Amino acid sequence: MNLSELNKVANAMVKPGKGILAADESTSTIKKRFDAIGVESSADARRDYRELLFGSAEAMKNHISGVILYDETIRQNAKDGTPLVKLIEKAGSLPGIKVDQGTKPLSFSPGEVITEGLDGLRERLAEYRGLGAKFAKWRAVIDIGEGIPSWNCIKANMHALARYAALCQEQEIVPIVEPEVLMDGAHDADRCYAVTEWVLKTLYVELFETKVALEGTVLKPNMVISGKKSAKRASVEEVAEKTVRVLKACVPSAVPGIAFLSGGQSEEEATAHLDAINRIGGLPWKLTFSYGRALQAAPQKAWLGKAENVAAAQRAFAHRARMNGLASEGRWSATLEKKAA
Ligand code: 13P
């Protein structure tokens, strides 16, 4: 393993003012997003939409350090025949690839899931590396509810994440390690804190035992946040304080950077939280975004599948990317949102 090269890539992924665009929706997930805007999800429509994003020079050059792709997308060409990967590289951004194969019910653990995709992963990574991928992503999903998560679920999922990360580094690819504690439940932020702490502590033991070099990884965690159905809402300051506290307690300083998922937060909420987290300051890692929904909701709404809306959609994407870029340095404010609107 060439650790200094992996470390260089990991640092580039979390460069101040920039963050990651998660555009790795599976075919079934992107269909849901397209359904919401009344667009039929054909391979060409998916290509057109992603070409719109990756060809958005202002957003990509200034604020997007890397793009997470789906298997179909890493093999697709833009309308003029240029590979989409080249479009990303031309903007000075790094192509990455989602390599997990989604979740399945975890045996004898009702309500819990395990992420699959380890079989044949070494060979798939080698192929993706040939197609230009510099980093990869694997998402483990931990739900909070009555009696869950179980230790069985946490242990199995963190072990799988560590095995994935080791395979990535062996193949000279930086692993994004994503243990997502879902915000779907009725729990409060303190319960989210406790579960996130359990998950992260377990993850870093597994990464140690699997011999993963932390300097060549990026962590993609949830923020410590109230569940969607919770009546007790944590304020922006409380989310920032609790998120930073749990990360300090669990994440070694050898990790170059942390890129949060948005997980169902509104666009402005995800930006405000990231900004408040970065305003705390004095932390050993860079803290940025790796957002899917919180970066793409606005461009999707503006696009609606119509060629004449491409420029407006790119403007909406550039605005969201800029707001999050500012938040990655603790320089965002709500007035900037209003001015642009
Ligand atoms: P969201 O920001 O929409 O949670 O997506 C990020 C991601 O890549 C989840 O795996």
Within a domain: 166: yes
Q: Kindly state whether residue 337 falls inside one of the protein's structural domains.
A: no
Is 338 a domain residue? no
Ligand 1 binding pocket includes 149 (Cβ within 6 Å)? no
Decide: 262 in ligand 1 pocket, CB within 6 A. Answer: yes
Give the span between the Cα atoms of 228 and 333, in whole angstroms.
Answer: 24
Instruction: List the CATH number of the domain containing 93.
Output: 3.20.20.70
143 Cβ contact partners less than 8 Å away, ≥ 6 residues apart: 111, 112, 113, 149, 182, 184, 185
- CA nearest ligand 1 atom 5, residue: 292
Choose among 77, 85, 87: nearest CA to 47: 77
The ranges of the chain with pLDDT < 50 are none
Q: What is the structure's pLDDT at 341?
A: 58
Encoded tokens for 128: 């993706």
Cβ of 257 closer than 6 Å to ligand 1, yes or no, is no
119 domain-assigned: yes
Give Cβ neighbours of residue 248 (< 8 Å, ≥ 6 apart): 283
Q: Which residues participate in catalysis according to the annotation?
A: 178, 220
Establish if 339 belongs to a structural domain: no
Within a domain: 336? no
What is the number of structural domains in the chain?
Answer: 1
Range of the domain at 12: 3-330
pTM score: 0.98
Burial, 89: exposed, middle or buried (Cβ in 10 Å; 0-12, 13-18, 19+)? middle
Structure-block tokens of residue 181: 């504690």
**Interstrand relation of 103-105 and 113-115 (parallel, antiparallel or unpaired):** antiparallel
CA of 19 to the centre of ligand 1 (A): 13
Q: Which helix (H) or strand (E) holds 191?
A: helix 189-209
C-alpha 22, offset from chain centre? 5
Phi and psi at residue 130, in whole multiples of 5°?
-65, -30
